[in-house]
Amino acid sequence: MVAIVVAVGTARSWRASLAGAAGGLLVLAAIVVALGPALERVSLQPLRLVVGALLLVFGLGWLRKGILRVSRDGWMAGGVGYEEVDEDGAVSGRFDWTSFVVSFKGVSLEGLEVAVIVVAFGSAAGDLPSAAAGSAVAVVAVGLLGALAYRLVARIPRRAMQLFVGAMLTTFGTFWAVQGTGATWPGDTWALAWLAGVYLAFSLGASRLATGWRAQRARSAPAALELLEEPT
């Protein structure tokens, strides 16, 4: 939850990302209050499939833009606070509904999984209040960790951050979508690590390849212009 909110906030819009996180937490709280112990019987498989597919759409779109922009402008272009107009026509400063939706889905799904685990352990031990208190402490601790990590994440140039966030969202999307079909990953949650490595390696290779193509086009353009200007 924290990784998605921090990454999306740094790459796109903090206001929209935090609003999406708050909305996801409110919806999650309402579900927990309404269902209570019955939450243990909720099937997460369809939700994982839908959210995973949607995150794949967003993640691959951001990944494509990140690769193209890094190959065009380099890694250091567009630092924190850099004003720009996206290819979608979205100007920095306006409310970013894409960031809101991504953070909302990530927080609500991850939070629902945590809630199911907490209810299951609390019910099994016959002490649901203690399990809820432990989960609350964990949420606060990880939230503080994310707040401290923000300064480090914010130093990453905007172009590079968009590429990394695209790879991360694509990783989560792939992981959840496959889980939603009923299949299991080798190593369970550890599969996120090698999935992220695969997508990141692909992104770096694709950006380097695109940079080479752009350089080749830039070299060939003057030569073609000289041929056109030669007298016949």
From first to last of its 232 residues, the chain has per-residue pLDDT tens of 787 888 788 777 888 888 998 998 888 888 877 877 777 676 777 878 887 888 888 888 888 888 888 877 777 654 443 334 444 444 455 788 888 988 888 888 878 877 777 777 676 666 778 877 888 888 788 878 777 777 776 676 777 777 888 888 889 889 888 888 888 888 888 888 999 999 989 888 888 888 888 777 777 755 544 544 555 5
CA separation for the pair 52, 46 (Å, rounded): 10
Q: What DSSP string runs through 104-149?
A: HHHHHHHHHHHHHHHHHHHHHHT-HHHHHHHHHHHHHHHHHHHHHH
Structurally, how many domains does the chain consist of? Answer: 1
Strand partners, 85: 91
Backbone angles phi, psi at 85, to 5 degrees: -105, 120
Q: pTM higher than 0.95, yes or no?
A: no
Strand ranges inside 19-112, DSSP E:
none
CA separation for the pair 68, 75 (Å, rounded): 11
Domain that holds residue 28: 2-229
Backbone angles phi, psi at 175, to 5 degrees: -60, -50
For residue 77, the model assigns a pLDDT of 54
For residue 19, the model assigns a pLDDT of 92
For residue 125, the model assigns a pLDDT of 67
